[in-house]
């Protein structure tokens, strides 16, 4: 499995902490998952894991054979989903996961985590 740690580290570094804040740090990440990730329950499983972690956002197949997700929530929960995404469900074969800063504005009005139409 090829994990793009540089993009993950860069996305995390762009998140600024608020010293002294007791509130959880919220982040938004855009994920692209490459490998055998369509037709193996990847979207359903990612949606279930994100819901379990209390995240909001969406996941969808892309016509190029990848899976894309926009994930918003507590930094620790987003990091846990990112770690899960690197292996996915049992039938998946994840070759690479890239993460970048996401646009939380795209989630305006959405609640929970859901599968959306292929792009």
pLDDT digit string, tens, across residues 26-80? 999 999 999 999 999 999 999 999 999 999 999 999 999 999 999 999 999 999 9
Cα 47 from Cα 42, distance rounded (Å): 8
Active-site choice (36, 43, 93, 110): 43
C-alpha separations of 90 from 21, 84, 97, 108, 112 in Å: 39, 11, 16, 32, 24
10 Å Cβ neighbour count for 90?
A: 8
Cα 97 from Cα 13, distance rounded (Å): 17
Length of the chain, please?
119
Is position 20 within any domain?
no
Is position 45 within any domain?
yes
Is position 67 within any domain?
yes
Q: How many domains does the chain have?
A: 1
Is position 87 within any domain?
yes
Q: What is the mean pLDDT of the chain?
A: 87
Instruction: Please say if the pLDDT value at position 118 is more than 70.
Output: yes
Q: Based on the residue annotation, tell me whether 72 is a catalytic residue of this protein.
A: no
Is position 21 within any domain?
no
Is position 1 within any domain?
no
Q: What is the pLDDT of residue 109?
A: 84
Is position 56 within any domain?
yes
Instruction: Please say if the pLDDT value at position 100 is more than 70.
Output: yes
State the CATH number of the domain containing residue 35.
Answer: 3.30.70.100
Active-site choice (2, 29, 36, 61): 61
Is position 80 within any domain?
yes
Q: How confident is the model at residue 16 (pLDDT cuts 50, 70, 90)?
A: very low
Q: Residue 45 belongs to what domain range?
A: 7-13+26-102
Q: Based on the residue annotation, tell me whether 60 is a catalytic residue of this protein.
A: no
β-strand pairing of 56-61 with 67-74:
antiparallel
């Amino acid at each position: 499995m090829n994990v793009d740690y540089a993009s993950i580290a860069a996305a995390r570094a762009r998140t600024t902490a608020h010293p002294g804040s007791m509130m959880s740090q919220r982040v938004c990440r855009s994920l692209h998952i490459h490998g055998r990730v369509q037709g193996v329950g990847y979207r359903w499983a990612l949606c279930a894991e994100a819901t379990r972690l209390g995240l909001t956002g969406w996941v969808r197949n892309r016509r190029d054979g990848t899976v894309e997700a926009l994930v918003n929530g507590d930094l620790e929960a987003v990091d846990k989903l990112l770690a899960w995404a690197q292996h996915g469900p049992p039938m998946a074969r994840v070759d690479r996961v890239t993460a970048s800063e996401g646009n939380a504005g795209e989630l305006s009005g959405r609640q929970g985590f859901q599968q959306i139409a292929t792009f």
